[in-house]
Amino acid sequence: MSIFNIKNLQCIRRDNILFQGLNFDLEQGGLLQIDGVNGSGKSSLLQMCVGLIQASEGSINWNGVNIKESRYQFQSDMTYFGHSNGVKAELTARENMKVMHALSGDKSDIDYSSILKQIGLAGLEDVLLSRMSAGQKRRVGLSRIFMTQSKLWLLDEPFNALDKNGKKIIEQLIVKHCTAGGMVIFATHQTMEIDGYPLQHIHLGNET
């Protein structure tokens, strides 16, 4: 019985059917890429997997239980990173990370400077995000994945606004998380260099 399972999912946005009859199972260490042209429903599928949007048909199950029934159990096992970074521009990087860390419920204390160093923002702990570039803000937003123990990561276009080495850092992180038994679902149209790690695919949109 798979850990994360999508059963016969259908999505209707503004009265037109984006996709239907979607079935997928993700096991321990699974890495899933959702690709498709803009407007093909990539983000909608991710938001459904997370429970933000109600699926008109079909169900999404975590450890065999529909996520609607066990909402908070599911939410404590997953981290979502959407189009918008989910960080406050008026707060400094450290304050933002403190809030993210508290929200993730992870008990261990975290060295923020080392995380910032890992994502290439060394020394920017006390800089207001309003003074940072879009790419830097995106990295601060992405730093939430360093601070959670959650098993499942759902990333919506994690690479946009990131430069080449930013993308490399995130790719390594994803591979490290998957080899350690975690699971990652991400939506992107860019190609991934993950040197041979088994990558599963879902393609949305009718032009295959």
**33 touches 24 (CB < 8 A):** no
DSSP 125-169: TTSBGGGS-HHHHHHHHHGGGGS---SEEEEESTTTT--HHHHHH
The contact set with other proteins (CB under 8 A) reads 13-15, 50-54, 56, 72, 75-76, 78, 80, 82-91, 95, 98-100, 102-105, 144
Q: What is the DSSP pairing of strand 200-203 with strand 31-35?
A: parallel
**Which CB sits closer to other proteins, 45 or 78?**
78
| Residue 176 CA to its chain's centroid (Å) | 15
CB of 67 to other proteins, least distance (A): 11
**Which CB sits closer to other proteins, 51 or 166?**
51
CB of 173 to other proteins, least distance (A): 19
CA angle, 5 then 173 then 4, to 5°: 5
**Which CB sits closer to other proteins, 52 or 122?**
52
CB of 49 to other proteins, least distance (A): 11
**Which CB sits closer to other proteins, 115 or 175?**
115
